[in-house]
Chain A
Amino acid sequence: MADPYLTIFLCALLTYGVRSGGHLLMTYFGTVHHRIEAGLNAVPIAVLSALVAPTVVTEGWPEAVAIVLVCLLSLRFSMLPSLALAVLALAMMRQIAGV
Chain B
Amino acid sequence: METNKSEIRLMKGNEALAEAAIRAGLDAYFGYPITPQSEVLEYLTLEIPKRRGIVLQAESEVASINMIYGAAGAGARVMTSSSSPGMSLMQEGISYIAAAELPCLLVNVVRGGPGLGTIQPSQGDYFQATKGGGHGDYRLIVLAPSSVQEMCDFVFDGFKLAEKYRNPTLILSDGALGQMMEKVEFPGDGSLPHQIPAWATTGKKGRERNFITSLHMEPERMEEINLHLQRKYKEIEENEVRYETFEIDDAEIVLVAFGLPARICQKTVELARAKGIKAGLVRPITLFPFPKKIISDLSKKIDRFLVVELNAGQMVEDVMLAANGNCPVHFKGRMGGMLIQPEEVLEEIEKIVEESLTLNAGQE
A, B bound: no
Chain B interfacial positions (CB closer than 8 Å to A): none
